[in-house]
Structures are given as structure tokens and as C-alpha cells.
């Protein structure tokens, strides 16, 4: 095998490995739609008696946000208390997999790329 073929083989193997990692990182459980990662079974067992996992999946937040949601469901919706170890496991799963999102809007256009403003500007 010449050097070039060898390099080509190495590059394609690296690409395959990284694609495989990405796929594994996003394994989705078929029935609940939850990301399969440490803690997903606890979420399935404790968070699906009142509503579907879709409510969870479409939400996001840091630990304080997720904790406040759990408190709200406990205070207002009759959700059972979770022991500290279990709650920590669930919170870590939620933050890790449905954490605070980066801003999803694109950056605004530069002023020189904007159409001409036909209106008088204020100030
Ligand atoms: C005792 C019932 C109950 C349990 C158990 C429960 N929830 Fe809820 N949850 C509710 C209700 C009721 C709502 C409001 C539903 C609606 O708005 O239609 C809700 C709403 C939510 C929302 C949406 C909040 C928003 O601001 O839109 C999220 C996220 C959520 N729950 C996550 C969880 C998680 C995570 C767990 C497990 C740790 C859980 N829920 C367990 C009753 C429960």
C-alpha cells in the first residue's frame, strides 16, 4: 500500500468513527423519544404518569430551571417527592440532554447589507 492510499484509508476510517460517535451520542429511545443516556430510565419511571415525554423533550433549561419545574409540579400538580439521589440523577440527565440552548436566531445582518429604510429614523 503506498503512502497516499494509506492516508486515504486513515482519513475515511476517522470519518466513519466520528460519524458513529455522533450517532451513538444521539440514540433515541423508540417509545418515549428520550435520549438514551444515564438517567433516562428514571425519567421514564417518574415523569410520564401525568404527561407524555414530549413535554420534557421540547423543553430545555439549566439545573435551576429544571429544578423549578419539578418544584412547580410538586406544589401545584401533586407530583410525588423524589429522594435526593434520584432527583439529582434526574436533574443531571435533564441538564445534560435538554440543557440551556444557545440562542437559535441567526445574528442580525450588517447595516450595509440591509435594504434602504424608507422611513425617517427616530433620533
Ligand atoms: C403528578 C403529575 C406530574 C408528574 C409526575 C410530572 N409532571 Fe410535568 N407537568 C405536570 C402538569 C399537569 C403539567 C402541565 C401540563 C400542561 O401544561 O399541559 C406539567 C408540565 C411539565 C413541563 C412543561 C412546563 C412548561 O413550562 O411548559 C415539563 C418540562 C415537565 N412537566 C417535566 C416533568 C418532568 C421532568 C417530570 C419528572 C421529574 C414530570 N414533569 C413529572 C404534571 C406532572
Residue 94 CA: which ligand 1 atom is closest? 35
Residue 109 domain-assigned? no
Q: What is the pLDDT of residue 48?
A: 97
Residue 70 domain-assigned? yes
CATH for 94: 1.10.760.10
Would you say the CB of residue 90 lies under 6 angstroms from ligand 1? yes
42 CB-near residues (< 8 Å, 6+ apart): 86, 89, 90, 93
Q: How many residues make up the chain in this entry?
A: 123
The tally of domains found in the chain comes to 1
Distance of CA 55 to the CA centre of its chain: 13
Residue 74 domain-assigned? yes
Q: What is the pLDDT of residue 20?
A: 56
> What tens digit of pLDDT does each residue of 14-66 get?
655 555 555 555 799 999 999 999 999 999 999 999 999 999 999 999 999 99
What domain range is 51 assigned to?
27-101
Residue 49 CA: which ligand 1 atom is closest? 5
Amino acid at each position: 500500500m503506498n503512502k497516499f492510499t494509506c492516508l486515504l484509508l486513515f482519513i475515511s476510517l476517522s470519518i466513519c468513527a466520528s460519524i458513529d460517535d455522533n450517532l451513538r451520542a444521539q440514540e433515541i429511545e423508540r417509545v418515549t423519544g428520550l435520549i438514551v443516556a444515564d438517567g433516562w430510565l428514571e425519567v421514564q419511571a417518574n415523569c410520564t404518569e401525568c404527561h407524555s415525554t414530549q413535554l420534557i423533550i421540547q423543553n430545555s433549561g439549566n439545573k435551576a430551571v429544571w429544578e423549578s419545574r419539578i418544584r412547580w409540579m410538586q406544589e401545584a400538580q401533586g407530583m410525588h417527592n423524589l429522594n435526593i439521589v434520584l432527583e439529582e440523577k434526574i436533574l443531571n440527565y435533564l441538564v445534560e440532554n435538554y440543557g440551556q440552548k444557545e440562542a437559535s436566531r441567526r445574528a442580525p445582518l450588517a447595516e450595509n447589507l440591509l435594504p434602504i429604510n424608507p422611513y425617517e429614523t427616530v433620533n
